[in-house]
Amino acid sequence: MQTTITILSILIVSLFLGCVKNAIEPVETTPTTTNTITDDNITYNKNIKPIIDQNCGGCHHPQTLNTLPYLTNYEEVKFEAENGTFASTIFDENPRLMPPSNPLLNKEKELITKWINLYYPK
Ligand code: HEC
């Protein structure tokens, strides 16, 4: 139910923004960024570590709240990803939602999924 509301709100907002944007700037420019993330170039150090440091590091690190499991380096994160706990906390809230009451953005979850599906490139 909450998901439906969220999706509806996003749709409504983007419809609205779409109109505003078109009214102001009718010419659609193609993005020319050179570091577009594709399925082939996702790595732990480049894409995953920043998400984890920012969203999980405040607790899952011996120098912060010292909560196990530690998620401070490639080996630790890969271990959690391999046994499924990583994905099950950020997606299924199982056994609980991580980060608590502050879910990751969809694009961050998507990146993590791709990284897992690629067997954890470092
Ligand atoms: C505000 C602090 C906090 C943040 C931020 C946080 N966690 Fe947690 N995490 C906890 C606590 C507390 C536990 C539960 C420890 C327990 O009860 O045994 C936990 C447990 C876990 C577990 C183990 C679940 C289990 O019981 O098997 C995983 C995996 C996990 N967190 C992943 C993450 C990930 C991934 C992120 C970032 C996306 C994250 N956490 C962010 C506090 C946090």
The letter for the amino acid at 95 is P
**Pocket lining: 67 vs ligand 1, CB cutoff 6 Å:** yes
Determine the pLDDT at residue 104. Answer: 96
Ligand 1 center to residue 7 CA distance, Å?
26
From the CB of 108, is ligand 1 less than 6 Å away?
Answer: no
Q: Determine the pLDDT at residue 12.
A: 45
- Which of ligand 1's atoms lies nearest the C-alpha of 77? 35
Report pTM: 0.75
Q: What is the pLDDT along the chain (122 residues), one digit of tens a residue?
A: 666 655 455 444 554 555 555 555 556 655 554 556 677 799 999 999 999 999 999 999 999 999 999 999 999 999 999 999 999 999 888 889 999 989 999 999 999 999 999 999 99
Q: Where are the domains of the chain?
A: 33-117
Q: 1-20 in b/e burial notation, b at 16+ Cβ within 10 A? A: eeeeeeeeeeeeeeeeeeee
Q: Cis bond leading into 69, ω under 30°?
A: yes
